[in-house]
Amino acid sequence: MSEKKIQSALISVFYKDHLDSLVKLLHEQGVTIYSTGGTQEFVEKLGVPVVPVEGLTGYPSILGGRVKTLHPKVFGGILARRENAQDLSELQQYEIPEIDLVIVDLYPFEETLASGASEQQIIEKIDIGGISLIRAASKNFKDVVIVASKAQYPLLEETLRANNGSTTIEQRKVFAGFAFEVSSHYDSAIFNYFKSDAQGQVFKQSYNNGSTLRYGENPHQQGVFYGGLEKIFDQLNGKEISYNNLLDIDAAVALIDDLDGTAVAILKHNNACGAATGASVKEAYLKALSSDPVSAFGGVIVINKKVDLDAATELHKLFFEVVIAPEYDEAALNLLKEKKNRIILKRKPVAFASKQFRSLLHGVLEQDKDTKVEVLSDLKPVTDRKPTDEENKALLLAVKLVKHSKSNAIVFAKDGFMVTSGVGQTSRVDALKNAIDKAKEFGLSLDGAVMASDAFFPFPDCVEIADKAGIKAVIQPGGSVKDQDSIDYCNKHNIAMVFTGFRHFKH
């Protein structure tokens, strides 16, 4: 029979939020409730009769609560197949009551891990009884309803009210699907905690609470974001964040976190079209905007300091999709909110994962994030002329910016800002020429600027072209079999060049 009326329920939960109305409904519908520990006390305080699990099993909760429901009289009542005569006979023989509904959740393993708790505290939050109950009830969905999260309480309550305490097999299967999502996510988190080289190359990641986006990269593509954006930002204004917004926001946050002082970056299609540091947010923004005011239109602006009214007044003159900052003055926020679709994000302090991955070819690529940020001691001079102090500052800024640019990439910088860049080219020479052409287009002088490359120069042509454009200091990883050709050219033309030993490809 597809439709079954719930006559008995086992309730054992860690979180009691919104449980009261559900318990009262079950009582109204004549359901016998079994429970244990804190949940039993909770039910009793509601004035609802409850049968202690200990009374059913004949055993108390033991081992500090590690063993409560792990008993044949519990699992037999859940797993018994109601259409199987042998199963029903054994239930009768061993005086095991049928259990038609299981409401259970799991210890907060991920939350405990994230809190920085000790290993012993983390281990104690690995649920045993709960996960076993979820699997048992889900396996027997033909006869049993499983609710494995408080997120499903409203759906269960709605179902029971609509059907006078009964459920269909289709509804029970839906609840079982929710339950296996909970258990698989939980087990993935535990696996990643224990994961070591001994397991070999195994990839398991789980994200829940997906958000359907308006569309994907293009309108004809569907898109979903899996993750907790609310843990990273408060959205203070604006329309729904799009797929492409998310890509730019991710690139923007990664870039700004590498910059020192008061910094602003403007991004378009995951690349910086302007970036600068300054004495104020306003100054840094205007310097960043000067690099490429055309590309800045419709871009994403990221700032690492509070946005005041002076800065907001300048920002407000430009059409942009998103602004990100750790804080906003009230007057600044009110001004920026005048554009109702403008997305305003306030960053929260949060640590990001050290790994990144992407799907391709029916598989997944995983790697360590490129967290290398060059410092002065990483700069190894290889030419006769050494960079000046000012050139070193510009070189360090340029190499941070080129790290966050699509390869092949060239960045010119001076005076605390990115003059121009050439990005995403199949040839390093083309990237260089694009950067030079852009500087000319916007009337930006390259005299005194430095050049950064995300990878080595296989030939001396790049330093030669840069020299003729006015560049007098270069930073690159080095590593080409023909490094000496570029070094020789620099020595001949009084150009300072440093190697870092770190390549920064970005694809």
State both tokens at 475. Answer: 């930073």
Q: Does the annotation mark 71 as catalytic?
A: no
Count of CB atoms situated within 10 Å of the CB of 117: 14
Euclidean distance between CA atoms 238 and 470, whole angstroms: 43
CA distances to 184, 409, 418 from 397, in Å = 44, 14, 8
Query: Closest Cα partner for 286 from 106, 56, 296?
Result: 296
For 149, the token pair is 């999260």
Written as six digits, the tokens of 391 are 């050139």
Phi/psi for 418 (5° steps) reads -80, 120
Contact 382, 253 (CB under 8 A): no
Catalytic-role residue among 269, 306, 339, 386:
269
Q: Which two tokens stand for residue 356?
A: 């990144």
Dig out the tokens for 383 from the structure: 């030419």
List 5, 24, 125, 139, catalytic entry: 139
Contact 332, 308 (CB under 8 A): yes
> Which amino acid makes up residue 407?
S
* Residue 13 and residue 105 in contact, taking contact as beta carbons nearer than 8 Å: yes
Class of residue 300 by CB neighbours under 10 A (exposed 0-12, middle 13-18, buried 19+): buried
Q: Is 128 exposed, middle or buried (0-12, 13-18, 19+ CB in 10 A)?
A: middle
Instruction: Classify residue 268 as exposed, middle or buried by CB count within 10 Å of its CB (0-12, 13-18, 19+).
Output: buried
| Beta-carbon-side half-sphere exposure of residue 86 (alpha carbons within 13 Å) | 0
Residues 6+ apart with CB under 8 A from 391: 450, 472, 473, 496
> Is 269 considered catalytic here?
yes
Cα 474 versus chain centre, distance: 35
Reduce the DSSP state of residue 78 to 3 states and report it.
Answer: helix
The b-or-e profile of 409-446 (16+ CB within 10 A means b, else e) is bbbbbbebbbbbbbbbbeebbebbbbbbebbeeeebeb
Per-residue buried b or exposed e for 19-49, using 16+ beta carbons within 10 Å of the residue's own CB: beebbeebbebebbbbbbbebbebbeeeebe
Positions annotated as catalytic residues are 139, 269
